Chain A
Amino acid sequence: MMDQTPINLLEIKNLKKTFAISSGLFARPLTLTALENINFTIRKGETLGIVGESGCGKSTLGRCILQLLSPDEGQVLWLGQDLTKLPAEEMRKRRQDLQIIFQDPLASLNPRMTVGEIIADPLRTLRPELKKDERRARVLKTMEAVGLLPEMINRYPHEFSGGQAQRIGIARALITEPKLIVCDEPVSALDVSIQAQILNLLAELKDEFGLTLIFISHNLSVVRHVSDRILVLYLGRIVELATGDEIYDDPKHPYTRALLTAVPIPDPKLARQRNIDALKGEIPSPINPPSGCTFRTRCRFAKPFCAEQRPPLETIDGGRLVACHRWREIEVPEEAVLGV
């Protein structure tokens, strides 16, 4: 687990990201607010899960942290240094510390490079001083760490299954000896048995190399399994941030609760007993979000005043965060949480 005094590896302050959406040749472009008022920290050695429905901004957040997208406003402080202000050359060096794993393993690997070349590629730019045999030695060591056989080094990505390809992607991220890896839906495209293998691999690598992970996923069961703390996003805003146990045992935000009750449980008796707090409708358009609390249009606890003011992100119960006007009033009996 963590040290007595957790070190804040990363601090996100007032992050905002918008995209201009073309609405026709002569029309004024519309603004889509993908992320707004994002504030949180990531502690050294933890796994932070980021969950939410499609379009909630979870992947955009991961990319803003890595500076693959430039935020409009706000700071991304890496050990106190603001990455958003870093010149491109400096940022390139910093990328040794911050890596990413993508959802579709095959699509993220260059089909014309061998496995060895793919895994070695980050070293060419980030560690140009390494000699060829040193590079090869590192590639082989990393391949072993992720469970790839040495004889696979000269093969091409198309010869591999999805799970094996994801191991190649993980090796490529790992070879620069990063401190933090953003995992963007790393197991969503994989078969169940392979998914479990990759989740175990990530947990082992985290322990072995002292990694900090940001784990982005729409699958709450998977996030529950891997995360120390969980951040819940809705329409580009944080609605709740708490430890995994707090989120699953005692969610404060109505959205978190609705998400949890919607997660399928692989247990027929529990599944039948469950009383699903089904959310009505679908996520509103981020181009024209509802006024006040953006969740109010789907919230069964919403009151007229929820439409007037945006709920602030409050710190409660020793450090967890929640953004809801009514979280104090909507205590529900324990068994209602997972619906069982």
Chain B
Amino acid sequence: MKQVLKVEDMSVTFALHESEVHAVREMNFALSEGETLAVVGESGSGKSQAFLAIMGLLAKNGRTGGRAMMGDVNLIGLAPGQLDIYRGKDIAMIFQDPMTSLNPTLRVKTQLAEVLVKHRGFDKGKAVKSAVEMLERVGIPEPAKRANAYPHELSGGMRQRVMIAMALLCQPKILIADEPTTALDVTVQAQMLDLFKTLTDDFGTSLVLITHDLGVVAGVADRMMVMYGGRAVEKGVTDDLFYDPRHPYTLGLLHSTPHIAKRAERLDPIQGLPPSLEHLPKGCSFNPRCAFAFDRCLNERPLLTETGNGREKACFYEGPMTYGKVA
């Protein structure tokens, strides 16, 4: 399968008054054409910052290291003017809250058409026509009417569809979706996930789905990358990670997620709190919350290593993992 994005040794650092915080470290992954990669983690795991960095959208005190290769082009370190050639056209990103990403003072069609005028040199009339067609493709009823609306006149699900339409106008090779369904109702979420499947299957778009919801991941992702404390701790094919997790954190996440078809008396949550990035524990970042940690984990940091079948994990523990009652 053709690779569309290759991220190598990427890091994201934020300068504070007298110190710096490492939000992402040693990130490596490749994204293939038409593939859906889920990036899973809790708040502060670095999952959003990594992709904001690739898009050149970090806050001013942020600095990115390493490479994010799209073909021969390294997106990291490009001047904003050069980045704009690719951003929106080859690689696009949508966010959890569509209202904050849309301009409240412009009609939907004006915002959509602008993308085509800028990136593809369409004249205004043709751009509006294409915009309305795209609204229809993403499942907006009465697209011509909705195109004339202002963002606040649309529902949350409708706004998210507008964002997706905008991201797709230039038929990007890569779509990064950061918690795209978290703010939506389940029924609308199901419609949205269905739309993502159509995109990857029919258009060959590669999708990066950043989420904390393993239910959403199970339905759409081909591969997964689990992040903790700014680093990837486990990677592999979705089914492998769900049915045979090798990292205690992945296992803990699975046991924390309520399952609608099974009612357990109590969930088996991971104990404790996610770490502060400014004060990561010594050794493995997960060791204070890990039921399987032993001496080595307290002093030495496990590196992400291959364990066969395209899987990788960053954990020293090799024994069986029976969960919950152990902790």
Q: Which residues of A contact B (CB under 8 A)?
A: 53-54, 161-164, 191-197, 199-200, 203, 218-222, 224-225, 244, 248, 258-272, 276, 278-279, 281-283, 338, 340
Report yes or no: B238 in contact with A268, Cβ–Cβ below 8 A.
yes
Q: Which residues of B contact A164 (CB under 8 A)?
A: 273
A-facing mask of B127-171, CB < 8 A → 1, else 0? 000000000000001000000000000011110000000000000
A-facing mask of B269-283, CB < 8 A → 1, else 0? 111011000000000
Give the shortest distance, in Å, between B128 (CB) and chain A (any CB): 25
Q: Which residues of A contact B156 (CB under 8 A)?
A: 54
Report yes or no: A193 in contact with B253, Cβ–Cβ below 8 A.
yes
- In the complex, what distance in Å separates the CA atom of A252 from the CA atom of B260? 17
Q: Which residues of B contact A (CB under 8 A)?
A: 42-43, 141, 155-158, 185-191, 193-194, 212-219, 238-239, 242-243, 252-261, 263-264, 266-271, 273-274
Give the shortest distance, in Å, between B145 (CB) and chain A (any CB): 14
Q: Which residue of B lies closest to A258 (CB)?
A: B187
Report yes or no: A265 in contact with B259, Cβ–Cβ below 8 A.
yes
- In the complex, what distance in Å separates the CA atom of A53 from the CA atom of B188? 9
Report yes or no: B42 in contact with A220, Cβ–Cβ below 8 A.
no
Report yes or no: A262 in contact with B218, Cβ–Cβ below 8 A.
no
Report yes or no: A276 in contact with B190, Cβ–Cβ below 8 A.
yes
CB contact under 8 A between A193 and B215, given known A260-B260, A264-B189, A276-B194: no
Report yes or no: B267 in contact with A199, Cβ–Cβ below 8 A.
yes
Report yes or no: B261 in contact with A265, Cβ–Cβ below 8 A.
yes
Q: Indicate which residue in B43, B219, B255 contacts A191 across the interface (CB closer than 8 Å).
A: B43
Report yes or no: B185 in contact with A225, Cβ–Cβ below 8 A.
no
Q: Which residues of A contact B267 (CB under 8 A)?
A: 196, 199-200, 225
Q: Which residue of B lies closest to A255 (CB)?
A: B187
Report yes or no: A266 in contact with B190, Cβ–Cβ below 8 A.
no
- In the complex, what distance in Å separates the CA atom of A338 from the CA atom of B242? 20
- In the complex, what distance in Å separates the CA atom of A222 from the CA atom of B263? 10
Report yes or no: A262 in contact with B187, Cβ–Cβ below 8 A.
yes
Give the shortest distance, in Å, between B140 (CB) and chain A (any CB): 11
- In the complex, what distance in Å separates the CA atom of A161 from the CA atom of B218? 28
Give the shortest distance, in Å, between A3 (CB) and chain B (any CB): 20
Q: Indicate which residue in B155, B188, B189, B252 contacts A193 across the interface (CB closer than 8 Å).
A: B252
User: 8 interchain pairs (CB within 8 A)?
Assistant: A53-B188, A162-B43, A191-B42, A219-B186, A276-B190, A278-B190, A283-B185, A338-B260
Q: Indicate which residue in B155, B213, B217, B255 contacts A282 across the interface (CB closer than 8 Å).
A: B155
Q: Indicate which residue in A193, A259, A338 contacts B187 across the interface (CB closer than 8 Å).
A: A259
Number of A-B contacts defined by CB within 8 Å:
143
Given A218-B185, A276-B194, 15 additional A-B pairs, CB 8 A: A53-B185, A53-B188, A164-B273, A193-B253, A196-B268, A197-B269, A218-B186, A219-B186, A220-B260, A221-B259, A248-B263, A264-B216, A266-B254, A268-B243, A276-B190
Q: Which residue of A lies closest to B252 (CB)?
A: A193
Closest 10 CB pairs of A and B: A264-B215, A196-B269, A196-B256, A262-B190, A191-B42, A196-B267, A53-B185, A221-B258, A193-B270, A266-B214
Report yes or no: A163 in contact with B273, Cβ–Cβ below 8 A.
yes
Q: Name the residue in A220, A224, A265 with the highest tally of chain B Cβ atoms < 10 Å from its Cβ.
A: A265
Q: Which residues of A contact B188 (CB under 8 A)?
A: 53, 282
Report yes or no: A268 in contact with B242, Cβ–Cβ below 8 A.
yes
Report yes or no: B187 in contact with A278, Cβ–Cβ below 8 A.
yes
- In the complex, what distance in Å separates the CA atom of A203 from the CA atom of B43? 25
Q: Which residues of A contact B238 (CB under 8 A)?
A: 268
Report yes or no: B263 in contact with A225, Cβ–Cβ below 8 A.
yes
Q: Indicate which residue in A161, A200, A265, A283 contacts B273 across the interface (CB closer than 8 Å).
A: A161
- In the complex, what distance in Å separates the CA atom of A281 from the CA atom of B43? 32
Q: Which residues of B contact A270 (CB under 8 A)?
A: 218, 261
Give the shortest distance, in Å, between B224 (CB) and chain A (any CB): 10
- In the complex, what distance in Å separates the CA atom of A109 from the CA atom of B11? 36
Q: Which residues of B contact A338 (CB under 8 A)?
A: 260-261
Report yes or no: A195 in contact with B256, Cβ–Cβ below 8 A.
yes
Report yes or no: B273 in contact with A194, Cβ–Cβ below 8 A.
yes
Q: Which residues of A contact B270 (CB under 8 A)?
A: 193, 196
Report yes or no: B261 in contact with A340, Cβ–Cβ below 8 A.
yes
Q: Which residue of A lies closest to B215 (CB)?
A: A264
Q: Which residues of B contact A272 (CB under 8 A)?
A: 219
Report yes or no: A266 in contact with B212, Cβ–Cβ below 8 A.
no
- In the complex, what distance in Å separates the CA atom of A164 from the CA atom of B273? 9
Report yes or no: A192 in contact with B212, Cβ–Cβ below 8 A.
yes
- In the complex, what distance in Å separates the CA atom of A201 from the CA atom of B271? 12
Report yes or no: A282 in contact with B42, Cβ–Cβ below 8 A.
no
Q: Which residues of A contact B255 (CB under 8 A)?
A: 196
